[in-house]
């Protein structure tokens, strides 16, 4: 590894939900910084893999439905088997269900909590067990980056399980940092603001809502997935070795208003 503290050469990163949007932006940014990528998720990330390989990095596609914890152990074992190691974990996969709190169903509650919080925790656990072994052998630190949300800080409306899960991600990030910092693992989170992706296409197309959103953002623009990628590179790199349990808002100033 070179003198550049942001250099990820020789590191391997797992990115869940890397097929599009923020996950793809993070995977490409990590690859540009030198990391090999394991793209994990329910949907094949062929486009992401092609772009990562065009940067001269390796990319393995690992199929896993993270709506349950069943595939978690296999994900880590597969990544280590195919790429030789696991240094960085980015928990980006997540789902959302919308309904008034008075009508919100148990099914929609469980589906979101299982994917966004339960699977995230057990993937952190499985990855950390490997990271602690390598930290002891090499002195290299493991890096875990969880994707939180503006709703880690705010309540929102009509998304009770999403808000609960992302608030949980924030608390869990801090707990894991407390426990795992002495073991050579940094655990932090990124809270994206309004990012221009397929998931927000309807909001962008709604003239009224789009105007309201932009009026609230000091930067006066939607974020790009690459904006999140830069933050992920920082938190995954040696430059962030003394950053622990932090939730980094990348929101164009949304929370500052």
Locate 175 and state its tokens.
């707990």
Question: CA distances (Å), 210 to each of 97, 125, 142, 222, in order?
Answer: 21, 39, 39, 9
Q: How far apart are CA 240 and CA 12, in angstroms?
A: 17
Given the residues 8, 27, 64, 162, select the one marked as catalytic. 162
Q: How far apart are CA 117 and CA 113, in angstroms?
A: 5
Task: Identify whether 162 is a catalytic site residue.
Answer: yes
| 194 within 8 A of 202, measured Cβ to Cβ | no
Identify the H or E element spanning 228.
Answer: helix 225-236
Q: How far apart are CA 99 and CA 161, in angstroms?
A: 10
Annotated active-site positions, please? 162
């Amino acid at each position: 590894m070179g003198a550049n503290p942001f250099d990820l050469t020789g590191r391997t990163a797992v990115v869940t939900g890397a097929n599009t949007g923020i996950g793809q932006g993070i995977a490409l940014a990590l690859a540009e910084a030198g990391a090999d990528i394991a793209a994990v998720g329910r949907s094949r990330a062929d486009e992401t893999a092609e772009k990562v390989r065009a940067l001269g990095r390796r990319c393995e596609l690992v199929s896993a439905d993270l709506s349950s914890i069943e595939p978690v152990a296999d994900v880590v074992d597969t990544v280590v088997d195919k790429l030789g190691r696991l240094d960085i974990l980015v928990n980006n996969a997540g789902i959302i269900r919308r309904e008034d709190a008075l009508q919100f169903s148990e099914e929609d509650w469980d589906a979101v909590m299982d994917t966004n919080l339960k699977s995230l925790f057990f993937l952190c656990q499985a990855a950390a067990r490997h990271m602690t072994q390598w930290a002891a052998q090499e002195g290299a630190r493991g890096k875990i980056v969880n994707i939180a949300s503006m709703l880690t800080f705010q309540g929102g409306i009509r998304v009770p399980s999403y808000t609960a899960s992302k608030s949980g991600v924030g608390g869990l990030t801090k707990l894991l940092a407390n426990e795992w910092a002495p073991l050579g693992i940094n655990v932090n989170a990124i809270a994206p603001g309004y990012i221009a992706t397929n998931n927000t296409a309807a909001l962008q197309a709604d003239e009224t809502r789009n105007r309201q959103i932009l009026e609230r953002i000091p930067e006066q623009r939607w974020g790009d997935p690459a904006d999140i990628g830069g933050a992920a590179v920082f938190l995954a790199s040696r430059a962030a070795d003394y950053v622990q349990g932090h939730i980094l808002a990348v929101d164009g100033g949304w929370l500052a208003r």
